[in-house]
Amino acid sequence: MKDQFYSYILALQNRITQAIEDFDGKAKFEQDIWKRKEGGGGQSRIIENGAVIEKGGVNISAVYGALPKSMQTYFKVGEVDFFACGLSLVIHPKNPMAPTVHANYRYFEMYDDKGIILDQWFGGGQDLTPYYLFEEDVVHFHQQCKKACDKYHPDFYKEFKDNCDKYFYNKHRNESRGVGGLFFDYLKADKKLNIQDRFDFVTDVGNVFLDSYMPILNKRKDQFYNKINRNWQEIRRGRYVEFNLIHDKGTLFGLKTNGRIESILMSLPPYVQWHYNHEPAKGSEEFKLITILKNPREWI
Amino acid sequence: MKDQFYSYILALQNRITQAIEDFDGKAKFEQDIWKRKEGGGGQSRIIENGAVIEKGGVNISAVYGALPKSMQTYFKVGEVDFFACGLSLVIHPKNPMAPTVHANYRYFEMYDDKGIILDQWFGGGQDLTPYYLFEEDVVHFHQQCKKACDKYHPDFYKEFKDNCDKYFYNKHRNESRGVGGLFFDYLKADKKLNIQDRFDFVTDVGNVFLDSYMPILNKRKDQFYNKINRNWQEIRRGRYVEFNLIHDKGTLFGLKTNGRIESILMSLPPYVQWHYNHEPAKGSEEFKLITILKNPREWI
């Protein structure tokens, strides 16, 4: 299964980076291959200063070896070996009318001292972070997410959508990071779905990524914006940074397993602002966004 | 002691904000008084868009009540009441040649169920974060720190300077946040210094703050800089954000004790950049700074 999933994310990285490069037309992905001292490594692809994409990364990694102490505590296990691989992407478009997108598809194995698999599961999802709210964009994104889910179980979309709202939440601000999508973790073999079914599900979510995001980007990339819109985008990007550095388990996992810093922190936006007590005027477009982030709702 | 220390930080807030306003000449501090639901509150003073100061805050707070669960775990105590008060300041000057400064002076008490003090201590310090290295500035700052320390104990400066290097360290980057200063915590009454002596020491450190920083700011505020210097400052400010959101115990304490978010996060710089794999050219002024941050040294 680990080879099967690694082959999948390798191919998905090629597919997504190719599509984004073709779409952007100006910037190219830069590739960095890195090794992890304790075992494994990754292949990071970063794009910057494009015509459409201001900064983005589509990274894959596969790390393995002895599970670090802090992760033993986290998973409540003893000294075991592990294998983890996944694809992580974040796209920050230049135009404030276009949303930031994040996706992650990952697989995890733990072994006993004979190398037998003790536990194995999938995790991941994809979610949208707009700076201005275009309901049709959010609905489109969620519809694509639902389509992938419905093939496997009628409850999946609702469950993983709710998970996503719960997970991408800036508790210290009492607001969501964005308008959600899907988030799932610890997807293990059970009575209904075996591990191959789980693989099929997660890869089907990965397969709808381009269809869920690129039409939105295409619609918004040339939309008019002014300095006020751009400042608002940079202020909201500050909230993105806060989530990733304070709350995000993926970032912490990377830091704790001695991942490559520049690959982990590629998720941070290029230009960011923090101003004291910034609050949008009631009734403004900016205010509308905040209202939705404070009260996550159904989109389908 | 808690009243005595609170009076001190109240007066110090007035003294520092007055001095900074007079110095800046353009912007004024905006004051916000906030209440904490569970007990206590604070008085935040923020300055933005000044002639010299781009963003800064000089905040005091006094919070009390039942020690939150997460802090019980942190301090390894049961259900106790606490009182904590302190002054926190961060100044981000506009000119990249002028360093950012941070200072904090705080006092903590814990009580048994009869209201008797179980434990009491002081903490705090002050430290400098330059974007360009002017050795004379760093030496001046450390000399002022040492002067305050030497009155109390010949070992204090070395001990608290080393603490500072250890504490303000971005472990995930293997580099210091800045060039240090003083950092101390759990300063309790002992055989040599009673709690009043500890008060005298901490307030003497507070009393040298203006002398340690303002001459540096005065020297650098009008120094020539270009767009490259400004970009570098904003990139380095990103490291400041990383430290505060990933590692800083003060920030986490604020978040965990339900402090006021905008007061806690006033420490974040106004304009910040993150670029992938940014590394200064060997031999450049920017490179010189990094070299020092990777190898903290003695300044006196």
Q: What does the pLDDT read at residue B250?
A: 84
Yes or no, beta carbons of A276 and B269 under 8 Å apart: no
Least confident of A24-28, A191-195, B136-140, B232-236: A191-195
The partner residue sitting opposite B245, judged by closest CB among A57, A242, A269, is A242
Cβ atoms of residues B220 and B23 within 8 Å:
no
Mean pLDDT of A241-252: 91
Residue B266 Cα, gap to closest chain A Cα (Å) = 6
Nearest CA in chain A to B173: A261
CA B131 to chain centre: 17
Rg (CA), chain B: 19
Q: What does the pLDDT read at residue B249?
A: 85
Residue A171's alpha-carbon distances to A90, A287, B175, B264, in angstroms, are 21, 19, 29, 14
Q: Does B32 touch chain A (CB under 8 A)?
A: yes
Q: Does A272 touch chain B (CB under 8 A)?
A: yes
Q: What does the pLDDT read at residue B104?
A: 97
Instruction: Give B235's contacts in chain A (Cβ within 8 Å).
Output: none
Nearest CA in chain A to B256: A172
Beta bridge partners of B108: B84, B121
Pure H helices in chain B: 2-24, 69-75, 135-150, 156-167, 195-220, 227-242, 249-256, 261-264, 285-294
Token digits of residue B198:
């500890």
What is the C-alpha separation between A225 and A97, in angstroms, rounded? 7
Q: Does B247 touch chain A (CB under 8 A)?
A: no
Beta bridge partners of A295: none
- The residues near A48 (Cβ < 8 Å, ≥ 6 apart) are A27, A30, A54, A55, A56, A270, B275, B276
Cβ atoms of residues B39 and B61 within 8 Å:
no
The confidence band for A254, taking pLDDT boundaries of 50, 70 and 90, is: confident
Yes or no, beta carbons of A276 and B262 under 8 Å apart: yes
Yes or no, beta carbons of B274 and A270 under 8 Å apart: yes
Q: Does B266 touch chain A (CB under 8 A)?
A: yes
Token digits of residue A163:
């998970």
Q: What does the pLDDT read at residue A256?
A: 74
Residue B194's alpha-carbon distances to B112, B122, B187, in angstroms, are 21, 12, 10
Mean pLDDT of A228-247: 97
Beta bridge partners of A87: A60, A105
Q: What does the pLDDT read at residue B54?
A: 98
Mark the ranges of chain B whose per-residue pLDDT is less than 50.
Answer: none
Yes or no, beta carbons of B269 and A269 under 8 Å apart: no
Q: Is B76 exposed, middle or buried (0-12, 13-18, 19+ CB in 10 A)?
A: exposed
Q: Does B37 touch chain A (CB under 8 A)?
A: no
Does residue A257 register a pLDDT over 80?
no
Over residues B65-91, the pLDDT tens digits come to 999 888 888 888 999 999 999 999 999
Yes or no, beta carbons of A241 and B245 under 8 Å apart: yes
Residue A71's alpha-carbon distances to A59, A96, B278, in angstroms, are 22, 37, 30
Q: What does the pLDDT read at residue A166?
A: 96
Does residue A170 register a pLDDT over 90?
yes
Nearest CA in chain B to A278: B262
Instruction: Give B55's contacts in chain A (Cβ within 8 Å).
Output: 274-276
Yes or no, beta carbons of A270 and B271 under 8 Å apart: no
Mean pLDDT of A248-258: 81
Place of tokens 């910037």: A27
Q: What does the pLDDT read at residue B255?
A: 79
Instruction: Give B270's contacts in chain A (Cβ within 8 Å).
Output: 273-275
Q: Does A33 touch chain B (CB under 8 A)?
A: no
Q: Is-catalytic flag, B102? A: yes
Beta bridge partners of B91: B56, B101
Yes or no, beta carbons of B268 and A262 under 8 Å apart: no
Q: Does B68 touch chain A (CB under 8 A)?
A: no
Q: Does A55 touch chain B (CB under 8 A)?
A: yes
CA A47 to chain centre: 16
Q: Does A150 touch chain B (CB under 8 A)?
A: no
Does residue A259 register a pLDDT over 80?
no
Q: What does the pLDDT read at residue B137?
A: 98
Task: Return the exposure string of A235-265: e unless at least 16 CB atoms fall within 10 Å of the residue's CB, then b.
Answer: bbbbbbbbbbbbbbebbbbbbebebbbbbbb
Q: Does A284 touch chain B (CB under 8 A)?
A: no
- Mean pLDDT of all residues in chain A? 95
The partner residue sitting opposite B270, judged by closest CB among A48, A261, A274, is A274
Mean pLDDT of A197-206: 96
Could you tell me the domains of chain A?
2-294 (3.40.1500.10)
Q: Which of residues 105-144 of B touch A (CB under 8 A)?
A: none
Q: What does the pLDDT read at residue B257?
A: 74
Q: What does the pLDDT read at residue A249?
A: 85
Nearest CA in chain A to B273: A271
Yes or no, beta carbons of A262 and B276 under 8 Å apart: yes
Q: What is the DSSP code (8-state) at residue B68?
A: P
Catalytic residue among B92, B102, B140, B142: B102
Residue A236 Cα, gap to closest chain B Cα (Å) = 13
